[in-house]
Amino acid sequence: MKKSDYYKLVAAGATTALLVGCSSLSAPFKEADARWADFKSWTKVTELEPSTGNPTGFLGGVHMGDEGYRDVYVNDIAKDTLLGSAPYNYPAGSVIVKEQFASKADWEAGRKGAHTISVKVADGDQLSKENWNWADSYKGTAGESAFCSGCHSIAAANDYVFTNGDFLKTQP
Ligand code: HEC
């Protein structure tokens, strides 16, 4: 299966995502949240292949868009779930960091990376977007975000995370 087909399948059952505007969650002059401050030492899911283009077909202009180069890092709590296979249900404390660059040149130079972070704050048998918080920068504050969770609801069946073991196995 091609990557571009995978989320057509996943999204088949999903309700239409409502994007309800983007509120800024970041505040200046503070340290990064301890839950992800050291993410560079975590498992780099995209070690072999950064994500570029629009493999799911749902990117729109976010995460640096089609021209962007994106790496995904996962903490130890989330690692086994993310790299495993469906059904996906992440334990509370799971944190996933996406580091994105505007171009291949920036990615190669490690220049001007921007970060978006998903934090699972509660878990249970039922998947729910209420269980996730979102931060829009490295020094940002994790909180509810209709902007982030609205689009990630396309992957609701996979616990709101697009990048996972099944997805990574699909062919580019
Ligand atoms: C318009 C849709 C859209 C919006 C809005 C969006 N994302 Fe994503 N996000 C994606 C897609 C699609 C991927 C999957 C991989 C790719 O194409 O790079 C992704 C991947 C990610 C990942 C890597 C783990 C995963 O789910 O694959 C994180 C972390 C992430 N997004 C966080 C955020 C945060 C935080 C926000 C809000 C500030 C946000 N996203 C807003 C579409 C979106």
Q: In the chain, how many domains are there?
A: 1
pLDDT at 18 exceeding the cut of 90: no
Q: What is the pLDDT of residue 25?
A: 55
Q: What is the pLDDT of residue 60?
A: 84
Nearest alpha carbon, ligand 1 atom 33: 116
The answer to whether residues 70 and 55 touch, using CB atoms and an 8 Å cutoff, is no
Q: Is the pTM of this model over 0.85?
A: yes
pLDDT in tens, 30-85: 899 999 999 999 999 998 888 999 999 889 889 999 899 999 999 999 999 999 99
Is the Cβ atom of 148 under 6 angstroms away from ligand 1? yes
Nearest alpha carbon, ligand 1 atom 23: 98
Higher pLDDT, 72 or 14: 72
Q: What is the pLDDT of residue 48?
A: 82
Question: What CATH number does residue 154 fall under?
Answer: 3.50.70
Q: What is the pLDDT of residue 4?
A: 74
User: Can you list the pairs that 136-139 forms with residues at least 24 positions away whose Cβ atoms lie under 8 Å?
Assistant: 136/22, 136/24, 136/25, 136/26, 137/25, 137/26, 138/32, 138/36, 139/26, 139/27, 139/28, 139/30, 139/31, 139/32, 139/33
Is the Cβ atom of 56 under 6 angstroms away from ligand 1? yes
Q: What is the pLDDT of residue 30?
A: 83
- How many whole angstroms from 59 Cα to the centroid of ligand 1? 8
Is the Cβ atom of 55 under 6 angstroms away from ligand 1? yes
Is the Cβ atom of 151 under 6 angstroms away from ligand 1? yes
- How many whole angstroms from 149 Cα to the centroid of ligand 1? 9
pLDDT at 12 exceeding the cut of 80: no
Q: What is the pLDDT of residue 21?
A: 44
- How many whole angstroms from 159 Cα to the centroid of ligand 1? 13
Q: What is the pLDDT of residue 76?
A: 98
pLDDT in tens, 118-159: 999 999 999 999 999 999 999 999 999 999 999 999 999 999
Domain interval for residue 139: 3-169
Is the Cβ atom of 119 under 6 angstroms away from ligand 1? no
